Amino acid sequence: MWQWIENHLNIKGFKNIAHYNAYSDSFTKKPTNFFSNKKLNLKKSTLKSKNWSEVCGYDTRSSIPTDLIKYIVKQLEEN
């Protein structure tokens, strides 16, 4: 999607990578890309990742840690 936006609308974005377990022990390491119009300083983890079977169900596995959302909003408010 971002490649299309960049190529067709000439709008540049930033690829911001976060590891979910850096924000909550209830998640695996799961590196996730967040594309935005702002460069974010998201946390990366060096901790060993849990297995998916150790995470409580599909809903948790598919959600975003609340602390990560708060962290992103805080950074956007400061900029």
Q: What is the pLDDT of residues 16-72, one digit of tens each?
A: 999 888 888 778 777 888 888 889 999 888 776 666 666 666 676 678 899 999 999
Which pLDDT does position 31 carry in this prediction?
A: 84
Q: pLDDT band for 78, please (50, 70, 90 cuts).
A: confident
Does any domain span residue 27?
Answer: yes
Predicted structure pTM score:
0.72
pLDDT at 8 over 70: yes
Number of domains in the chain: 1
Indicate the pairing of strand 14-19 with strand 31-36: antiparallel
Token digits of residue 61: 């596995």
What's the domain range around 50?
16-78
Output the CA–CA distances (angstroms, integers) from residue 49 to 2, 30, 75, in the order listed.
Answer: 28, 8, 26
Residue 4 counted as domain residue: no
**Other residues' Cβ atoms within 10 Å of the Cβ of residue 22:** 20
